[in-house]
Structure 1
């Protein structure tokens, strides 16, 4: 069953805001999320049927802090093409 807690954030950067003009939203999720599960969540919680969903797996960046090596968490990014006029901002308001 799809769980909305797997969605970490909707990314708002200069690049993603430019994509927003073409009705594309970028969503950061846990690495275990699949396209079908994301579609289910968007239908169930937001009432939106996406036209297209593309995914991108991101590996956590290796960082050093006070000489110790660690890494950031892995995540997935989804580029979701929404129907014209649909938006995730004004849903549920």
Structure 2
């Protein structure tokens, strides 16, 4: 049996939803009622669900996450590393939509 997720405050909700991901693959998910967001590495699935439902006033069906490891890149002989990024693919209940083109 799962323990119920604790409520998060409004400030944490806006910290969790960093930015929408606007790529060809992410926009193909809109056919299946999915929206993709960048989220912090420490955000959990229940927190992401609460944040999306609280900020956008929609019902979330499921949340899938993936961590993209940063690439090692070279710039003028100096080796650097891009930051790791976590993406959340949010599936909405049938009939719900989020317009990522407009600001929150």
Give the 5 Å matches for 1:1-80: 1=8, 2-80=12-90
Residue-pair matches, total: 93
Q: TM-score, normalised by structure 2?
A: 0.78
Shift in Å, 1:92: 8.2
Structure 1, unaligned stretches of length 5 or more?
Answer: none
Contact 2:16 2:48 (C-alpha < 8 Å) held by counterparts = no
**Which deviations, in whole Å up to 9, do the C-alpha atoms of 1:14-53 show, x marking residues without a partner?**
1111111110111111211111111111121111221011
How far residue 79 of structure 1 moved from its aligned partner, in angstroms, is 1.0
The 4+ residue runs of structure 1 with deviation greater than 4 A are 90-93
Q: Which runs of 5+ in 2 are unaligned?
A: 1-7
**TM-score when normalising by structure 1:** 0.86
Q: What root-mean-square deviation, in Å, do the aligned CA atoms of Structure 1 and Structure 2 show?
A: 2.1
How much does 1:5 deviate? 2.3
CA contact (8 A) 2:17 2:52 kept: no
- Equivalent-residue separation in structure 1 for 2:17 and 2:53 (angstroms): 14
